Amino acid sequence: MSTAVVVEAPGRHRLTGHEPAPPGAGEALVRVHAVGICGSDREVYQGNRPEGYVRYPLTPGHEWSGTVEEVGAGVPGTLVGRKVVGEGFRNCQVCDRCHAGETTLCTAGYEETGFTRPGAMAATLTLPARLLHVLPDDADLTAAALLEPAACIAAAALKANARPGERVAVVGTGTLGMFAVQFLAAGSPAELLVVGTRPDRATLSKGFGATDFRTRDQELPGDFDVVIETAGSASAARTSAALLRRGGRLVLTGIPAPGAEGLDPTDLVVRQLEVHTVFGAPPAAWAHTVRVFGAGLLNPLPLVTHELPLAEFPRAIELVGSGDPQVGKVLLRP
């Protein structure tokens, strides 16, 4: 029998037998190829995720790729056998925000695969077929397991609306930061600066298209048209704002600790900065990500450093939180 990870409560998990859930009307059953671990999975395991954004007991796993094995009534049979990734937010489809395409702002309440609904740390995942995005037949499913964080950055890139020839920058050098570099590089910027705390990320950043790399303790230039922040700290947000020209565009994707000192509202107003934020990825961002990935403009594989069997879930969580610069993206293989 295949297995699944179940987090019973903060700090407590078990491996359990897994029986595929037959797809109901409008659903699809996906054979999971790989599932990524991120900081939010660590929050689920440690019990640090905000109330209302997790429901125990839970099978985690919101970053995944796989192949459709079976579909329920009302779902085209042509989906069977296709490689797919899937959105996590289980939006209601009927509120004003959903009708506007802003599904991550659904007013019916928060529901997401891997947090309040069963996730992909199992042999199979059954979910609404409307959430699936079909990949090219020759897609690398290991690389595709990283398309969920890529989609969140795609949402940021779409909001930033960087135009060819503009000066752009990324603050943060983790997985999200490296995806931001790739999305911005695809838009033919005049300059692409990456700012981080790890000098060892300079080579990777430039390999993805950055024209300059600096640590935050170095002198930083200004007058950038667009900055995408991915580091998740209040200080990173302030560094990002300081990089911008008057009237520049800032997109914040990181979530600092509650109560953190934020941006100076006087500075925002006087310099007329345009500030956007991202939490999750709506369908348009997912579609953009799959299109860019299929075109070969997005390469997630260099970010993967560890692939482990599902039974090594505790080690995967430990690796993600280790702070070891040799640890990049960690994948579990059911």
Predicted confidence (pLDDT) per residue in 248-268, tens digit: 999 999 888 778 888 999 999
pLDDT at 62: 97
What's the rounded Cα separation, in Å, for the pair 254 and 277? Answer: 9
pLDDT at 323: 86
Predicted confidence (pLDDT) per residue in 144-153, tens digit: 999 999 999 9
Mean pLDDT throughout 231-250? 96
**Residue 1 pLDDT > 70, yes or no?**
no
pLDDT at 333: 96
Model-level pTM? 0.95
What's the rounded Cα separation, in Å, for the pair 148 and 1? Answer: 28
Predicted confidence (pLDDT) per residue in 150-191, tens digit: 999 999 999 999 999 999 999 999 999 999 999 999 999 999
Give start and end residues of each alpha helix (H) in 194-233: 202-207
**Residue 225 pLDDT > 70, yes or no?**
yes
Q: What share of the chain is helix, strand, coil (3-state, %, to 5)?
A: 30, 30, 40
Predicted confidence (pLDDT) per residue in 103-142, tens digit: 999 999 999 999 999 999 999 999 999 999 999 999 999 9
Q: Is the peptide bond before 10 cis (omega within 30 degrees of 0)?
A: no
Average model confidence (pLDDT) across the chain:
96
Q: How far is CA 99 from the centre of its chain?
A: 23
What's the rounded Cα separation, in Å, for the pair 191 and 189? Answer: 5
CA angle 184, 195, 266 (to 5 degrees): 90
Predicted confidence (pLDDT) per residue in 263-299, tens digit: 999 999 999 999 999 999 999 999 999 999 999 999 9
